[in-house]
Structure 1
Amino acid sequence: MNEHRSIPDPEALIADMGARARDAARVLAQTPTETKATAVRNAAAALRASEDEIVKANRADMARGEANGLTAAMLDRLKLDGERIEGIAQSLESVAALPDPVGAVIDESTRPNGLKLSRVRIPLGVIGIIYESRPNVTADAGALCLMAGNAAILRGGSEALESNRAIHACLVEGLQQAGLPEDAVQLVSSTDRAAVGAMLRANGLIDIVVPRGGKGLVARVQEEARVPVLAHLDGLCHTYVHAAADPEMARDIAVNAKMRRTGICGAMETLLVDREFPEPAMLVDALIEAGCEVRGDDAVQQLDKRVKAASAEDWDTEYLEPIASVAIVDGMDAALTHIARHGSGHTDAIVTEDADAAAAFLNGTDSAIVMHNASTQFADGGEFGLGAEIGISTGRLHARGPVALEGLTTYKWIARGDGTIRS
């Protein structure tokens, strides 16, 4: 595999990997659906068979992470056990069962001159994925790229190096058993940060880069990239409890949105409570009793002595920890204004029994995912029936929200004539 090659420097490493990925991409673009699916299913089987080796590798990463002072949220993202490995394997099997977008006809028409036009989905080519902490991304991204006919170059964070290597070995095993080139999914084993820069400059070898991580990583990618970027930004998610919300529903949704898993991008970071909502203190109490630190504005602090004062920075902070900022707002317009000013365009939700209010929020919130009477923790490709996701795009071009198979394709125009010439 590529990690055993002797490459003198990061630029040469990425150039070598990119050239081999492009060769593999040409093969994948013509590979039948069942062959791709077989490779992914084989990889899932290899994951299950390699559980002990993967857990052992992950323990080494966890020990190093603890020694280096990784936060609890980062360690939670990093951790693998039998249950999570089984979840990854099931996710791969879900991806393998999805309809293949490659070759799908988007639309077609016949021009007055007899020319028959159609738009057909094709792979993007070679996709570079740069990510932090989560070793499951190695499996998900590799499988999604493969099923959409793309080659992938994966560069995970140094904190998950051993885990990523162990998972990548399973992907390679799946490819080999299916008779596909192992260069279809490559892992950058170098921890040199210069390798990231080399990927961002690999115009002509890498067709698009997908960053998954914190603001620092995404900002660097967007600033330095010489190839297109599909950005997965931070998840500064809001839940707005409207005046007409059912109190018990609002309580359950708020606690779940924040506390189910605090380290994921779909976790609620800010709770907005309408001033006319009858039981705001109940919401605050429920969060605190669930183990969440609440930071609030003056009105929220008056509800419960345990609430800490929120600073200006809190409204713009993705905590990824059991901390939530809570504000009392004067109606729908104030809630929408707060979200527009402080949100990241990821996922925002309203809790209300008023259908008109729900419609106003869903139409007025410019985020990739908007929800009504549901926890923001559902912001996940698997939960959306996509098998897995390569990231949640918060931009406005190409793909938005959970990016799965269809988001990893583009299209070409096909024109069919019958000796048709232009006058």
Structure 2
Amino acid sequence: MKDMDDVPEMMSELGRAARAAAAELAFAPAERKRAALEHAADAVWAARGTIVAANAEDLGYGTAKGLSPAMMDRLMLDAGRIGGIVAGLRAVAGQRDPVGEVIASWDMPSGLHIERVRTPLGVIGVIYESRPNVTADAGALCLKSGNAVILRGGSESFHSSRAIHACLLAGLRAAGLPEAAIQLVPTRDRAAVTEMLRMVGQIDVIVPRGGKGLVGLVQTEARVPVFAHLEGICHVYADGDADLEKARRVVLNAKTRRPGICGAAECLLIDRRFHERHGPALIEDLLAAGVEVRAEGALGSVPGTVPAAPEDFGREFLDRIIAVKLVDGVDGAIAHIRAHGSQHTEAILTENDATARRFFERLDSAILMRNASTQFADGGEFGMGAEIGIATGKLHARGPVGAEQLTSFKYLVTGDGTIRP
């Protein structure tokens, strides 16, 4: 590795190594990729003490930097969360290998037999903030899908990510796969991010995973194609036909389980009929849980709330704060979400099938839910084992980006001396 003071040359070297590794991974046997991830899972669990110690350094850095409690929660690792990383690695290892899967096949009158087959994208660059588990998730999913990956973790998670990355390398070595398949940028220098965004010819796609500032920078400056969501402005709509107890459980979980993740609810829309039937029950639950409720209009009279400003709607708080508003029926909720949402995840709470269908049909967010918490909006809960991010665009990948979404396809055409007249 070149001197880390020469960031452009360092990144170019990472790119060259990744490109060479990607060429080998494209035809690596599925059992070797699975073995690498199983060995990596074993290594993570064996190194849990080392990882927790490294994480303590990062937590100290985060405290000194003044990170919010929610961001510190994103950063923190303990034995339970390390167990979750291990489980995620094993889940991805156990998935069906997508590379080489025949998506469709057909015969033509000309005598050609045509197959559309999944193939890796090549080299993926992942830029992320705070959450060190992304090191394992992204590394595992890229490997499973036959892609090499260059990981650039956040400055806050620098030590934790290095400790986890060492375990991924141990897995690659044990399975006889190139260590350059999963590379971690070894510097906090932000110039490395700038270089990654310009590495056309060495990186095939960039996946940013972080706050609005990071994702906005990537979308503005990247010359490499990007899978991204700008923000997770997730809404929960309590319909007039919602079941009160279900609604109370879901709303509280959607906001408070982990308020710093992109699937956390940031806005609660309450139908006027629901409010007439049940009063401020949902708001009172949130207040009792220590959530700051920013309420608009008549809801502002509920004791303990604070007045909502216009900019509180369409805002990603990533904290124990939520905006609340009364709406007139499902169409009022749909209109609000269209105006203020980020097309990430929205939930409707209702026992009315027709209303739920209308909500699902007329909104175009990547994930729509009924009577379920928005906190489920990730690949681990969708049966993907893990996810590299939630894509809210409409090209190539949308929603949770798992191993299958990190592939493209090619056509395999077979003839028998077949010529075109």
Which among 44, 47, 51 is matched to residue 47 of structure 1?
A: 44
Partner of 2:353: 355
Q: What residue in structure 2 maps to residue 152 of structure 1?
A: 149
Q: 2:159 and 2:326 mapped to 1: Cα distance?
A: 46
Compute the displacement of 1:60 (Å). Answer: 0.5
SS of 1:295's equivalent in the other structure is strand
Equivalent residue, structure 2, for 1:71 = 68
Which residue type is aligned with residue 332 of structure 1?
V
1:192, CA displacement in angstroms?
Answer: 1.1
Q: Is the 8 A contact 2:4 2:187 kept in 1?
A: no
Give the match for residue 384 of structure 2. 386
- 8 A Cα contact 1:348 1:371, kept in partner: yes
Of residues 129, 154, 159 in structure 1, which corresponds to 2:126?
129
Partner of 2:370: 372
What amino acid maps onto 2:408 in structure 1? T
Q: Distance in 2 between the 1:71 and 1:119 partners?
A: 48
1:44 touches 1:93 (CA, 8 Å); kept in 2? yes
Q: Determine helix, strand or coil for the equivalent of 1:138.
A: helix
CA contact (8 A) 1:210 1:232 kept: no
| Separation of aligned partners in 2, 1:221 and 1:68 | 23
Take 1:9 and 1:23, find their aligned partners in 2: how far apart are those partners?
22
Question: What is residue 336 of structure 1 aligned with on the other side?
Answer: 334
The aligned residue for residue 259 of structure 1 is 256
Unaligned runs of 5+ residues in structure 1 are none
**Code of the aligned partner of 2:50:** E
Question: Deviation per CA, 1:250-305, whole angstroms, max 9, x where unpaired?
Answer: 11111111011111111101000001112141111111111111001011112x12
Deviation at 1:248, TM superposition (A): 1.2
| Alpha-carbon shift at residue 8 of structure 1 (Å) | 4.6
| Cα distance between partner residues in 2 of 1:401 and 1:176 | 32
The answer to whether the Cα contact below 8 Å between 1:175 and 1:181 also exists between their aligned partners in 2 is yes
Residue number in structure 2 paired with 1:285: 284
3-state SS in 2 of match to 1:389: coil
- Quick one: distance in 1 between partners of 2:331 and 2:6? 54
CA distance in 2 between counterparts of 1:206 and 1:21 reads 8
Query: Aligned partners of 1:233, 1:382: CA distance in 2, in Å?
Result: 21
Q: 1:328 & 1:335 partners in 2: Cα distance? A: 9
Residue 274 in structure 1 maps to residue 261 in structure 2: no
Q: For residues 353 and 233 of structure 1, what CA distance do their matches in structure 2 show?
A: 32
For 1:316, what is the secondary structure of its paired residue? Answer: coil
Residues 88, 139 of structure 1: 8 Å contact kept = yes
Residue number among 227, 232, 235 corresponding to 2:229 in the alignment: 232
Q: Per-residue displacement from partner, 1:295-348 (whole Å, max 9, x unpaired)?
A: 01011112x121100001100211111111100001111100100111111000
Residue in 2 that maps onto 1:395: 393
**Aligned match of 2:87:** 90
Secondary structure of the 1:120 match is strand
Partner SS for 2:116: strand
Q: Is the 8 A contact 2:117 2:409 kept in 1?
A: yes
**In the alignment, which residue of structure 1 is the partner of 2:322?**
324
1:411 is the counterpart of 2:402: no
Q: Is the Cα contact below 8 Å between 2:21 and 2:178 reproduced in 1? A: yes
Instruction: Letter of the 1:60 partner, please give it.
Output: E
Structure 1, residues 140-169: CA drift from partner, whole Å, max 9, x if none?
A: 000100010000000001111001100000
* Preserved CA contact (<8 Å) 1:233 1:346: no
Partner of 1:22: 19
Within a 5 Å distance, the mapping from 1:62-211 to structure 2 comes to 62-211=59-208
Q: Which amino acid aligns with 1:320?
A: L
Aligned to 1:295: 294
Cα RMSD after superposing both structures: 0.9
TM-score, reference length from structure 1 = 0.98
SS of equivalent to 1:240: strand
Q: Is the CA contact 1:297–1:310 (under 8 Å) kept in the aligned structure 2?
A: yes
> By how many angstroms is 1:234 displaced?
1.6
List 4+ stretches of structure 1 deviating above 4 A. none
Q: 2: CA distance between counterparts of 1:330 and 1:232?
A: 29
Using the TM superposition, give the Cα deviation of residue 232 of structure 1 relative to its aligned residue in structure 2, in angstroms.
3.0
Amino acid at match of 2:382: F
Distance 1:7 1:291, change over 3 A: closer
Shift of 1:46: 0.5
State the alpha-carbon separation in 2 of the partners of residues 162 and 294 from structure 1.
36
* Paired AA for residue 414 in structure 1: L
Could you report, residue by residue, the CA deviation over 1:48-75 in whole angstroms, capped at 9, with x for unpaired residues? 1111111111000101110110111111
